């Protein structure tokens, strides 16, 4: 009976370890939180949409494009973000710096430049009201 209990306890520990590793892996991706969406009254058919993108240490986005009509202004709130848009060279943007993405641009790299500190980014979209989804992974 003692052997069975020890094996059951060992098995439970293995399951918990696997769950923790899986959860840790899931935290490597960014989280996107919508914070604002409104029609632009003097530009019929256009919306202004804002999201906060949070990256844990070492976190990254998958390569992606945005809605075809979307012009994006990105402002780094905290930490440092490494970005590659289109054929531009990689650049690291620090808190307080910004960049933009033209409609149809390919965002090849979006990631936290730090392996130890989190980073956040405010992304503001000007987009056709009917153009969804806002982000299309490769």
Confidence band for 28, pLDDT divided at 50, 70 and 90: low
Global pTM exceeds 0.85: no
Six token digits for residue 72:
């994006």
Q: What would the pLDDT profile of 31-52 be if each residue is shown by its tens digit?
A: 999 999 999 999 999 999 999 9
Q: What would the pLDDT profile of 47-99 be if each residue is shown by its tens digit?
A: 999 999 999 999 999 999 999 999 999 999 999 999 999 999 999 999 999 99
Six token digits for residue 80:
């440092």
**Residues 88-116: what's their mean pLDDT?**
95
Spell out the domains of the chain, with CATH numbers in brackets. Answer: 28-137 (2.60.120.10)
Contacts with 82 (C-beta within 8 Å, 6 or more apart), sequence order: 90, 91, 92, 93, 109, 110, 111, 112, 113
Which ranges constitute the DSSP H helices of the chain? 2-26
């Amino acid at each position: 009976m003692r052997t069975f209990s020890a094996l059951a306890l060992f098995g439970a520990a293995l399951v918990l370890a696997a769950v923790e590793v899986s959860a840790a892996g899931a935290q490597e991706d960014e989280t996107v939180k919508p914070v604002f969406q409104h029609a632009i009254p003097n530009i019929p058919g256009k919306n202004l949409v804002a999201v906060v993108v949070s990256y844990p240490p070492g976190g990254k986005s998958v390569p992606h494009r945005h809605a075809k009509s979307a012009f994006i202004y990105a402002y780094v709130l905290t930490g440092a973000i490494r970005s590659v848009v289109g054929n531009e060279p990689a650049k690291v943007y620090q808190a307080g710096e910004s960049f933009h993405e033209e409609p149809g641009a390919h965002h090849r790299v979006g990631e936290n430049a730090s392996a130890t500190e989190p980073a956040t980014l405010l992304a503001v979209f000007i987009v056709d009201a009917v153009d969804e989804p806002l982000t299309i992974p490769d």
